[in-house]
A and B are shown apart, each in its own frame.
Chain A
C-alpha cells in the first residue's frame, strides 16, 4: 500500500516537472526565443566618418583622427588590479585615473569598459603586443573630431557632441539616433546633414562575453561630404593672434560677393576640449561677438548719416559747417570730440576728422525718419542671414519707436545723438562689415556668408540687392574714407600702408565716465576697386583709430602681400 502511494507520489512529481517544461517551452517558448535571440545578437552602429571642413584653399580646419581607446572586459581579466598597474606603466598615466574611469564606465562584467582614450599609436601597439599578459584588455579605435586650429575657428566651425534628448526628438525623423554625434554649433551644426553621412551597421552574433562570433549582416557606412569655407586660414589665424585675447570681433570680407575671409571673436575656446571651463569663464568665450554681440556703432554710423543727408539732398558734398568744438541744440550743449573745434569742414573733412558738429548739422537737416530709413536700407536692425547660429538683429531707433515703446517725445537732441551713432542704436560687427561692403562695392547689399557653394548648388541664398542710392554720393563718402587714412589729421592715419591704399572710418564709443571706450575700425582696400573690406571692433579698446586700426592694418597688408 505504502509502496503504491510512493509510486503515485513520484508520478505526480514527474508530471509536475513535465508540466512546467511544457509551460516553459511550449507556452512561453516564443517569449524565451526572443530573449535568446536578443541575448546573442547585437546591433552595432558603424558611424560614418564625418566630412571634413576646409578653408578656401583646401587647408584642413576640422577632420577626423583615429584615436585609440583602451578597454577592459572585467570577466576576462585575471587580476584587474595588476593589469591596471601594468597599463599605467605603459601609458604613463596614474593608476588611480584608470581605476576612477573603470568605476565610472563599468556596466556589466562581459561588456568592454573604457579605461582611457586618446592613447598614442605607439602605446596602443605596445599594449597589443602584451595582450597575453593582460587578458581582457582591448585596444579599440575611436574616431575623434580634431579641430586643427584650436581656438582660431571655434566660433565659425563650432563643435560636435553627443545628441541631446531634445535634439533627438526633433531630428529622429531625419534618421538621427541615440548616441549619434552631431554638430552643436557653427558650421558643424549648420551643415550637419551634409557632414554626417549615413551610419552603417552590423548585426553580430556574440557570445556570453560580448565577443563577436560571426557577422550576420553588414551595411556599409556612407561617409559625410566635405564642406569648404570661404575663409582664409592664414588670415584668420593672424587676426585671431592680433587680438591677443582682448575682447572684440573682426570680420574681413570680399565686398563684391560677401565671402567672409576671416571672422574672429575673441576671446575664444578650444573645441577639442571640454567646454566646461569656457561655460564658466567670465570672459564669455562662447559668445560669438561678431554676430551675437550688439554695440553702439559710434562714429562709424556717420557713414549712414552722410548717405541719408546726401540722398535727401539735405547737404551736398561741398556743404560746409563750422565746428567750434560744440553745438547748442535746444537747451543742451552737444560737443565735438575735438574741444578746440575743427573750424570750417566739408563732408570729406568731416568724415576724415570724424567731426561730430558737422554730422549734428547734417542729421538735423535730414531728420531722424530719413536716417532710420537709410540705416534700415543698409541692413541694420535685421539679421544678415549668415550661416551661423544666434545672430542678433541689432536695433535701429526711430521716432515712432520712442513714442510707442518709451512713451517719450523725440527731441532734436535725439536726432543729434542718432547722427553720430550714440544713443539707442545697436549693431553687430557683422552688420557694420556689410554696410562697409555696400560702400566699397558701389551700392550693393551683399549677403555675408562663410560657405563656398558645394558643386553647382549654393548652400545659402546669395542674392545681392542693389541699393537705390546715387553712385556719386557713395563716391563722396569713399573720398572721405580715403582721407581718414591719407589726411595728415585723419583719425585713422596710423593705418596708412605702403602696400595698398586703404579707406576707412574710425569709431569711438563712449561707454561711461572712467571706462575705456569701445573702438571701431572699419574700411576697405584697395581704395579703388576694393578686394577686401573689414570691420574691427575692440571692447574697451580705446579710440578706434588706435588699437582697432592696429589689428586691421597688418591683416590687410597680409592679404595683399599674399596676393602678389
Chain B
C-alpha cells in the first residue's frame, strides 16, 4: 500500500504526452529511413529501452539526491567535452561524437543536462543570497562548458544553455534589473561573436535571412524542408507518401529535420497535434513546478520544461525556416540515442519532483 501511496502523485498526463510524442516519432522515423536502413528504428528502440531503465530508476530516487551530485555530473561532463575535443570523431564538419563500440555518444547532449543540474545545485545552495556575485558565479559555471561545446562546434546545444540559464535565474528569483543588464550586454557583445563563428555557421545565419542566396548549398536543406512542410497542406500526403521525403530531397531527415517528414506526410493536422503534445508536456512540467513548495523542485521542473520546450520550439521553427538552422534534435522524435536518453532522464526528474514533493 505504501508503494501505491508513493506513486499517487505520478503525473500520468506528462508520461502520456511524452509517450504519444515518442510513438508518433517512431512513425516519422520509420517513414524517413525504411527505404534505406531499418537499423535506425532498432537502435532508437534500444535507446528507448535503456532510457526507460533510467526513467524508472530516477523516479524512485529523490531528485534532491541527484541535484546534490550536480557538481559531480558537471565535472564529469567537462571531462567528456574535453575528450571529444581530443578524441572525438568528426561528422558533418563537427567533432561532436565519442565512439564507444556499437554506440556513438554525443557528450554535448549530456552536458546540457548535467550543467543544468549543476546550476540548480548552485542556485539551491545559494537561495538566500541573490546578489550580483552569485549570478556572476552561476554565469561562469555555465560559461566554461558553453565555450567547450561551441568549440566542437555545436552552436545549437551551446545556445540552448542560454535560455535554460535565464529560465533558472528567473525562477530562482534573480532581480529583473540584473537579468536585464545581462541580456543587454549579451546583445551588445553578439556582434563580436560573429567573428568567432565558423564559416558554415555564418552561412547558415545568412541563409536564414535569405535561403535563396545558396539554394544548392547551405540553403538547400531549409528550402527543401519548407517545400516539404508547405506541400503537406492541411492533411498531408499520407504516411510513407511524402514525395520530398521518399525521393530524398530532404537531408538530415531522420535527425534534426524529422519535423519536415511529419509536416509533409501528416499535414497541418498532424503537425499541430504534435505541437500541442509538446505544449501539453511543457504545461504539465510547469504544473509540477507550481505544485511543489521546494525551491529546488521548482528549479528542476522549470529547468527540464525549458530544456524540452525550447528545443522543440527551436527545432520545429528551424525546419520551417522560422529560425536559423542550428543543429538541434527534436526531443523524443529525432533519431539519436544521446538526445533520447537525456530527454527521458529529464522526464524521470520531472516525475521524481512530482512524486517527492
**Interfacial residues of chain A within 1-31, with CB under 8 A of chain B in the complex:** 2-4, 6-7, 10-11, 13-14, 17-18, 20-22, 24-26, 28-31
- Is B227's beta carbon under 8 Å from chain A? yes
Q: Is the CB of A17 within 8 A of B317?
A: yes
Given the known inter-chain contacts A6-B286, A6-B302, A17-B317, please indicate yes or no for A39 contacting B234, CB distance below 8 A: no
**Interfacial residues of chain B within 317-350, with CB under 8 A of chain A in the complex:** 317, 320, 322
**Interfacial residues of chain B within 54-82, with CB under 8 A of chain A in the complex:** none
Complex formed: what's the CA distance from A29 to B310 in Å? 26
Chain B residues whose C-beta falls within 8 Å of the C-beta of A35 in the assembled complex: 227, 230-231
Q: Is the CB of B286 within 8 A of A3?
A: yes
- Is B316's beta carbon under 8 Å from chain A? yes
Q: Is the CB of B271 within 8 A of A25?
A: yes
- Is A207's beta carbon under 8 Å from chain B? yes
Chain A residues whose C-beta falls within 8 Å of the C-beta of B268 in the assembled complex: 21-22, 25-26, 29
Chain B interface size, as a band, is: 35 or more
Q: Is the CB of B230 within 8 A of A24?
A: yes
Given the known inter-chain contacts A10-B282, A17-B316, A21-B271, please indicate yes or no for A3 contacting B229, CB distance below 8 A: no
Complex formed: what's the CA distance from A3 to B313 in Å? 19
**Interfacial residues of chain A within 211-244, with CB under 8 A of chain B in the complex:** 213
Which one of B121-129, B191-199, B205-213, B244-252 is at the interface? B244-252
- Is B219's beta carbon under 8 Å from chain A? no
- Is B243's beta carbon under 8 Å from chain A? yes
Complex formed: what's the CA distance from A13 to B302 in Å? 15
Complex formed: what's the CA distance from A365 to B309 in Å? 114
Q: How many of chain A's residues have a CB under 8 angstroms from any CB in B?
A: 36
Complex formed: what's the CA distance from A24 to B263 in Å? 10
Given the known inter-chain contacts A24-B320, A29-B233, please indicate yes or no for A3 contacting B244, CB distance below 8 A: no
Most central of A6, A22, A39, A206 by chain B CB within 10 Å: A6
Given the known inter-chain contacts A10-B305, A21-B320, A39-B249, please indicate yes or no for A32 contacting B243, CB distance below 8 A: no
A148 to chain B, nearest CB (A): 43
Residue of A nearest to B268 (CB): A25
Q: Is the CB of A208 within 8 A of B248?
A: yes
Residue of B nearest to A18 (CB): B275
Which one of B42-50, B95-103, B165-173 is at the interface? B165-173
Q: Is the CB of B275 within 8 A of A32?
A: no
Proximity string of chain B (258-280) to chain A, C-beta cutoff 8 Å, 1 when within and 0 when not: 00000110011001100110110
Complex formed: what's the CA distance from A26 to B316 in Å? 16
A428 to chain B, nearest CB (A): 56
Chain A residues whose C-beta falls within 8 Å of the C-beta of B227 in the assembled complex: 32, 35-36, 39
Chain B residues whose C-beta falls within 8 Å of the C-beta of A39 in the assembled complex: 224, 227, 243-244, 247, 249
Complex formed: what's the CA distance from A30 to B267 in Å? 12
Most central of A22, A28, A29 by chain B CB within 10 Å: A29
Chain A residues whose C-beta falls within 8 Å of the C-beta of B224 in the assembled complex: 39, 208
Most central of B167, B268, B283 by chain A CB within 10 Å: B268
Given the known inter-chain contacts A11-B279, A36-B228, please indicate yes or no for A25 contacting B244, CB distance below 8 A: no
Q: Is the CB of B282 within 8 A of A14?
A: yes
Complex formed: what's the CA distance from A48 to B157 in Å? 57
Complex formed: what's the CA distance from A213 to B264 in Å? 19
Q: Is the CB of B170 within 8 A of A205?
A: no
Chain A residues whose C-beta falls within 8 Å of the C-beta of B263 in the assembled complex: 21, 24-25
A216 to chain B, nearest CB (A): 12
18 more contacts with CB within 8 A, not counting A14-B282, A21-B272, are: A3-B171, A7-B283, A14-B275, A14-B313, A17-B316, A20-B320, A21-B229, A21-B271, A24-B229, A25-B229, A25-B232, A33-B231, A35-B230, A36-B243, A36-B244, A40-B244, A206-B247, A208-B248
Q: Which A residues fall within an 8 A CB radius of B?
A: 2-4, 6-7, 10-11, 13-14, 17-18, 20-22, 24-26, 28-33, 35-37, 39-40, 108-109, 205-209, 213
Could you pull out 14 A-B pairs where Cβ atoms are within 8 angstroms?
A2-B173, A3-B302, A14-B275, A22-B272, A25-B233, A29-B232, A29-B268, A32-B229, A33-B233, A35-B230, A39-B227, A39-B243, A40-B247, A213-B247
